[in-house]
Amino acid sequence: MYRSLCLFAVLVSSSAGAAPPDLADHHLNVLPRTQAETARIDAATARATDFTTPEAFEANQGGAATVRARSDADAFSQSSANISFEGELNFKLGNGLFRKLWVSSPSSTLASDGLGPLFNARSCQRCHLKDGRGHPPEASDDSRVSMFLRLSVPAAPQDEMTEIERYLAALDGQVDRTRPDPMLGGQLQDLALPGHAPEGQMHIDYEEIAVDLSGGDTVSLRRPTYRVAGPGYGALRHDLQLSPRVAPPMIGLGLIEAIPASDILRAEDPDDTDGDGISGRAQIVWSTEFDQPMLGRFGWKAGMPTVREQSAAAFSGDIGISTPLFPAAAGDCTQGQSACLDAPHGDGDARGTEIDSEGLDLVTFYSRNLAVPARRNPDDPQVLRGKQVFYETGCTACHTPKFVTHRLDDDSPQSFQLIWPYSDLLLHDMGDGLADDRPEGRANGREWRTPPLWGIGLTRQVNGHDYYLHDGRARSLLEAILWHGGEAEPAKARVVQMPPADRAALIEFLESL
């Protein structure tokens, strides 16, 4: 029931424009597509050419799993509309574990102990508030719970290559090699149990940059600079690489997981052989769950291959909770943090790890089935005009509107759905402005995964803010667009130069998603 919907395969490169072989479908309960189904899928996922009316089924962004768009803060917290009765029960159980507040060990609450000792949050819900988008700390609210810093350092020449580095080197001929910081690990943990020192505090300084738009409009962008204050484990390395991350929305993850890998890989064009300036490439990561390379789909740089592995990694790194996939009781603590390693933990004979396989499966099921809300006003003339501007500006070169998920031989709500994530799930060079200069797997310091756009117009309703991009620097959708560079520079330039009425329509279209 909780079987991974992911495709586990050794991915191979292919010539531009050719569909790469799908090597992993035989690992899933996948029914092969017939020739007639393939023709139907090609027709259903063809790009729009008529912008006078909505496309068929366009309002149902998550296919049959789509739920009615609520008008309150729970718009992202609904289960898939086509979920079974048994599935609804498991969804609620998973929600309980997602919201659970973990406590330190030893504790009388044996099912909830094991927090930290170093951590970023006490529950999944603390980062993904209302299953939505995180934010940088406000001046009036010093909370950083829904945002943290990824950490790494360049690998030393004598460091043995990891399995994924060997694979990527064979695939691409070159790979940027990094390691977690030897003292601080893979992310800055700014909270700690009593008796333990936090690793430090993230501080952000902003510089305002004015951008002039056509029609006499001006927008101010804020450029962030990040630093670590109050390091708790000695001086920071001079070559420490920092990458800020806000918690992304949770909706539609199971649908993204069910997109055939071949459909994603088909859009790769790393050498830009078609000359359109877009050079998307797939992230490839090593799966701890399946012990082999897999297509990365989740995270700001697509660093995780499955919802289950993403969930387990977050338990370990964010909360310090061990799982069957990441069984270290001390989470992200390193050999240099002996007090953390020696502290009491919540592993026990009854459940083995601090959250056991059944609990991890329930959280995974919950995360897979957080439903995508229906579109609002897709037939509004202004929204339709904005959709046309979105297409004509070139946004769909990366924000692929539609996919059809695998037909699965079970009762999965994600089976054979026409979905509208507006993402190709590939890595793209976004320019110097958004660069974090921190490689991750196949992604270099300028590359990011195209984020899905579904639900983006409900951000303020769900989370009470309008902060976007990987670090929340953008204070509006227009600011987010104006930060685009690299491969997206020509599209951004068109937005700057277009008539103000078209910019307004473009934003209205995005707010309808």
* pLDDT for the residue 349: 58
At residue 365, φ and ψ (nearest 5 deg) are -60, -45
What is the reported pLDDT for 11?
36
DSSP string across 247-258: PPP-TTHHHHHT
Q: State residue 204's pLDDT score.
A: 95
Predicted pLDDT at 24:
56
β-partners of residue 205 are: 225
Q: Are 223 and 167 in contact (CB under 8 A)?
A: no
What is the token pair recorded at 225?
Answer: 């600079």
Q: Are 188 and 228 in contact (CB under 8 A)?
A: yes
Token pair listed for 371: 């439903």
**Which residue carries 């089976």 as its tokens?**
415
Nearest to 120 by CA among 271, 297, 319: 319
Extended beta strands in 121-238, E state: 147-154, 178-179, 191-192, 201-212, 218-229
Q: What are the pLDDT digits (tens) for 122-172?
A: 999 999 999 999 999 986 555 678 999 999 999 999 999 999 999 898 888
Q: What is the pLDDT, as a whole number, of residue 410? A: 82
The separation between CA 124 and the C-alpha centre of its own chain, rounded to angstroms, equals 15
Structure tokens at 230: 């109050």
DSSP SS3 for 136: coil
Quick one: how far is CA 323 from the chain centroid?
A: 21
Q: Which residues of the chain have pLDDT under 70?
A: 1-28, 139-143, 348-350
Q: What is the pLDDT of residue 411?
A: 80
What pLDDT is stored for residue 409 in this prediction? 80
**pLDDT tens, 160-179?**
999 999 989 888 887 899 99
Which 3 state secondary structure label does DSSP give 178? strand
CA-closest candidate to residue 504, choices 483, 478, 485: 478
> Please, what's the largest Cα pairwise distance for the chain?
68
pLDDT at 351: 72
pLDDT at 32: 84
Report the pLDDT value the prediction gives residue 141, as an integer from 0 to 100: 59
Amino acid at 232: G
Separation of alpha carbons 409 and 203, rounded Å: 49
CA-to-CA separations, 428 to 91, 396, 423, in angstroms, rounded: 34, 13, 11
Count the alpha carbons within 13 Å of 114 in the hemisphere toward its beta carbon: 28
The full set of domain ranges for the chain reads 25-193+236-512
C-beta separation of 314 from 285 below 8 A: no
DSSP annotation of 475 reads: S
